[in-house]
Amino acid sequence: MLTLYYAAETCSLASHIALEEAGADYSLVRISFARDEQHSPDFLAINPKGRVPALVTDRGILTETPAILVFIAQTFPKARLAPLENAFAFAEVQAFNSFLCSTLHVAHAHRMRGHRWADDEEAIASMRRKVPDSVGACYDVIERRMFRGPWVIGQSYTICDPYLFTIAQWMEADGVDPGRFPNVADHRRRMSQRPSVRKAIAAELA
């Protein structure tokens, strides 16, 4: 049995969708960022980093979206969510997700979480102003150089797809016009119609 600790409208949606795609037996625990529950002693005992997602397994607790996504793909191989038998293709999947995690998500985080990297309000406001540029530059590389279509790595749906979809939900709020990135926008539209995605979003909004 798996338990996913998630927060609404965060990157934990990617792991949630992957659990649905995998046909996993899992339960959900909602963490409210509005009530700062991610910094409560109870949650810090689960994830000392105070972040979501966290996935409680029979073996222990896992954190970090790229790691959880691969764990789901390996634990439910019949769902074929990653090219597990091919080291190069698997590394391409990992490289894409690492870019989302360490560059695109980080650029986005400067809109709402600037306090992580500066203390004064003017610097935090300055970071916020640059988000449309820095996030847009990431989508530019994805659109022109990384995205193969119809899915991120080409013909196969993988753990890259729910992760890109999740972060791409934030484009408008980040001041990025989806019209500049037709591949990404079309992918987002198609993803939003998948039953697994609809079910995961409905559960998080319930």
Q: How far is the CB of 134 from a copy of itself (least distance, A)?
A: 6
Helix ranges (H only) for the chain are: 12-22, 41-46, 65-75, 87-99, 105-112, 121-141, 160-168, 182-192, 195-205
Q: How far is the CB of 15 from a copy of itself (least distance, A)?
A: 12
What is the 3-state secondary structure of 83-140? CCCCHHHHHHHHHHHHHHHHHHHHHHHHHHCHHHCCCCHHHHHHHHHHHHHHHHHHHH
88 binds a copy of itself (CB under 8 A): yes
CA atoms of 60 and 87, how far apart (whole Å): 26
Per the rule left: phi > 0, alpha: psi between -120 and 50, beta: everything else, 175 is left
* Span from 20-28, 55-63, 152-160, 165-173 in contact with a copy of itself (CB under 8 A): 55-63
CA atoms of 135 and 118, how far apart (whole Å): 19
Q: Please list every residue from 166 through 185 that binds a copy of itself, using CB under 8 A.
A: none
- Which pair of tokens denotes residue 113? 């979480």
Indicate which single residue of 39, 113, 129, 189 sits in contact with a copy of itself (rule: CB under 8 A): 129
127 binds a copy of itself (CB under 8 A): yes
- Which pair of tokens denotes residue 148? 């193969």
Q: Please list every residue from 146 through 165 that binds a copy of itself, using CB under 8 A.
A: none
- Phi, psi (5° rounding) for residue 3? -125, 120
Indicate which single residue of 23, 36, 39, 116 sits in contact with a copy of itself (rule: CB under 8 A): 116
Indicate which single residue of 18, 46, 81, 110 sits in contact with a copy of itself (rule: CB under 8 A): 110
Q: 119 or 193, CB closer to a copy of itself?
A: 119
- Phi, psi (5° rounding) for residue 4? -100, 120
25 binds a copy of itself (CB under 8 A): no
22 binds a copy of itself (CB under 8 A): no
Chain positions contacting a copy of itself, by CB under 8 A: 48-49, 57, 59-60, 62-68, 70-71, 74-75, 87-88, 90-92, 94-95, 98-99, 101-103, 105-107, 110, 116-120, 122-123, 126-127, 129-130, 134, 141, 144-145
